[in-house]
Structure 1
Amino acid sequence: MKIWDINPGYLGRQQLLTEHTELHSLAQVIESQLDGVGKMNSAVLRWAYHPAAVALRHAIVVEEMKMRDIEHKTPIAVPSTACEWPTLEGDWTAATQYAELADKGVAGRIPLPMSSVQLWEQHAYSVMARDLPLFKELQSQVESKAIAFDELADLLVETLRRPCHQHHWDKVVMGMWEPCLVASEASDYRSSFGRPDRLLRGIQYLSAQYQWPELWQATALTELACAVRVN
């Protein structure tokens, strides 16, 4: 039983549902003042003292469930307090998590990355919505092969935990909309122009219908829907 750090788009259906159940179990333990925490394995225990992170991780998992037409009726309220995430440490790194899924032959919405280039392409929109200078820096490092896969994998997990800049978030959503313009249904979303939140839902719907790789295989397709935004 695990709570993962990598984007839930990489998880197979069974891993996704199992993590959702585990998050609810952990939320109940937190509500009970950590009664039963001693029975948890280390992959779950490190989340026990981070209730806001548990709630946000649950929200991201739920977005992925919706993208795969999995019904969800059990919300977890996201606290208004600042979110502190558990650290990536020991043997349970982001690269280790990708490797474990590969060993199991897991197939999620997003293909497991086989190179730093593929990993970066899957996360590029998400990083751009948070930190444009970092986006440019990582783009350069990946192109020049100046960053190792393991280092990039951990850095991307940590970056996607950061709040988005509202202006960047809006621009990224509009950029994600451009591939959707080829769809015959694109004109149905004219009323959403100027409303990036609504437009993102349209992007999700059309991506599910057409599965364009640049959108369907992007972490941003789901995680931007529940990302914390600041001005």
Structure 2
Amino acid sequence: MRIWDVNPGYLNRQSLLGEHRELHAIVSIIQHNKKGYSRHPETLRWHGFGWALSQRHRLLAAEMNLRGFTDRSPAMIKTQPQKWPHVFVDSPTSQFSILKKKYVNKEQGRIPLPNSVQQLWAQHQYSVMARDEAEYKYIGGWVTSRKSGKGIHEIYPELVSLLRCPPVEANLRNALEQMWNFVCAYAPHPATAMKKESSRHLLKQIQRTAVLHDIVYLKESTALGELPAWQI
């Protein structure tokens, strides 16, 4: 039994659907005081964090939707709004290592497991931009600096923490405009669409166009899958 802390985009189809099933199992255990797996470390760490468990479900459902699956089973559990568990069964960086071993000679996720801090940042930068401009500039400079000795294990916990916060509308719009630059060539009226569309509809256009035209840089971004989960 496992609820991953990495972005669902890193999970292959089997892991994505498997986590979805196991999350519902944990919700059922917590809501109905079931004994089976009630003392499992994964169940214990989510006790009292119903809102976070529900939000993780929304993230899974958003990723499933991006890949063509339909979720019709919301996780209705909402204790401690905006609060996430403080502990991990395995650290987020260790989860990358686990997935790399798990996926040897197997199907990979939508987003490649990162081999460098630069690749990790490229995958997360629009998600961070949508939340905190100062952090976006700081981490971006930190990653691109040749003097920095920071590795994935040093930067990833901060990225996980940032992506547990909801996007801020002004920052979200800025991130979407940057993402729009990759797809606007395929839009009939790109300038009009960007100015008039709501953030929700603009993101849907970006998603649809990135997938249809195989725009790899966007397809391998966390933002493409996770932003819709925040009910923007």
What is the TM-score of this pair, normalised by structure 2?
A: 0.88
> For each residue in 1:61-90, what CA deviation from the matched residue of structure 2 results, as whole angstroms up to 9, or x when unmatched?
001101111122212246495221112446
Q: Distance in 2 between matches of 1:44 and 1:3?
A: 9
> For each residue in 1:163-192, what CA deviation from the matched residue of structure 2 results, as whole angstroms up to 9, or x when unmatched?
2211101121122111111226676x9398
Give the alignment of 1:1-231 within 5 angstroms: 1-32=1-32, 34-36=33-35, 39-77=38-76, 79=78, 82-89=81-88, 92-105=90-103, 107-144=108-145, 145-183=148-186, 190=193, 193-227=196-230
Q: Percent identity?
A: 33
SS in 1 for 2:230: coil
Q: Distance in 2 between matches of 1:78 and 1:201?
A: 27
Residue type of the alignment partner of 2:97: A
> For each residue in 1:23-82, what CA deviation from the matched residue of structure 2 results, as whole angstroms up to 9, or x when unmatched?
1111222222x3327544323431132100010000000011011111222122464952
Asked if 2 retains the 8 angstrom alpha-carbon contact of 1:29 and 1:36, the reply is: yes
Mean Cα deviation higher: 191-200 or 56-65: 191-200
Asked if 1 retains the 8 angstrom alpha-carbon contact of 2:49 and 2:84, the reply is: yes
* Alignment coverage as a number of residue pairs: 226
> For each residue in 1:118-150, what CA deviation from the matched residue of structure 2 results, as whole angstroms up to 9, or x when unmatched?
001100000111111111111111112342210
- Gaps of at least 5 residues in structure 1 are none
Residue type of the alignment partner of 2:67: R
SS in 2 for 1:142: helix
Q: CA deviation at 1:228?
A: 6.6
Q: Distance in 2 between matches of 1:119 and 1:191?
A: 28
Asked if 2 retains the 8 angstrom alpha-carbon contact of 1:66 and 1:72, the reply is: yes
SS in 1 for 2:136: helix
Asked if 2 retains the 8 angstrom alpha-carbon contact of 1:88 and 1:154, the reply is: no
Q: CA RMSD in A?
A: 2.2
Mean Cα deviation higher: 120-129 or 171-180: 171-180
Q: Distance in 2 between matches of 1:17 and 1:180?
A: 29
Asked if 2 retains the 8 angstrom alpha-carbon contact of 1:88 and 1:94, the reply is: no
Asked if 1 retains the 8 angstrom alpha-carbon contact of 2:27 and 2:77, the reply is: no
- Gaps of at least 5 residues in structure 2 are none
Asked if 2 retains the 8 angstrom alpha-carbon contact of 1:177 and 1:203, the reply is: yes
Distance 1:156 1:130, change over 3 A: same
